[in-house]
């Protein structure tokens, strides 16, 4: 009896969208949601809302990859730069996260394809 219980896919306490799926697939979907929420908290000042379709996880390798991110117009406003962002995009943002040594190693972020359309800031006087 216990063997048959262990072979069945768990249906509780997973949300309806995850019920009936193997536990590993359900756990991966939950993990994607959690990572997307965390990234929205930390990157939300700079990029438009992230969604799970933009997220690719290589958890055990420590790689998190985000594709086609739109940069917010006010992303650089706190940096006191002489221009304003009108539009922007990041083709790919990759984070290398050292899961086994989070406190001893740095998280490395790399950008591919950074495009910005900028205009002069309003507070700058020109000749």
**Each residue of 74-110: pLDDT tens digit?**
888 888 888 889 999 999 988 888 877 878 989 888 9
- Is the pLDDT reported for residue 114 higher than 90? yes
Q: What is the pLDDT of residue 55?
A: 67
User: Under a CB-based contact definition with an 8 Å cutoff, are residues 56 and 64 in contact?
Assistant: yes
The model carries a pTM of 0.63
Q: What is the pLDDT of residue 96?
A: 87
Domain ranges of the chain: 22-120
Q: What is the pLDDT of residue 88?
A: 94
């Amino acid at each position: 009896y216990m063997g048959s219980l262990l072979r069945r896919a768990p249906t509780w306490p997973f949300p309806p969208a995850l019920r009936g799926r193997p536990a590993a697939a359900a756990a991966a979907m939950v993990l994607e949601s959690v990572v997307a929420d965390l990234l929205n908290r930390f990157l939300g000042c700079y990029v438009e809302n992230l969604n799970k379709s933009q997220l690719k996880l290589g958890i055990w390798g420590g790689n998190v990859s985000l594709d086609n991110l739109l940069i917010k117009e006010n992303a650089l406003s706190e940096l006191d730069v002489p221009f304003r962002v009108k539009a922007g995009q990041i083709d790919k943002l990759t984070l290398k996260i050292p899961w086994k040594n989070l406190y001893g190693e740095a998280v490395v972020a790399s950008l591919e394809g950074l495009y910005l359309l900028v205009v002069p800031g309003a507070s700058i006087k020109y000749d």
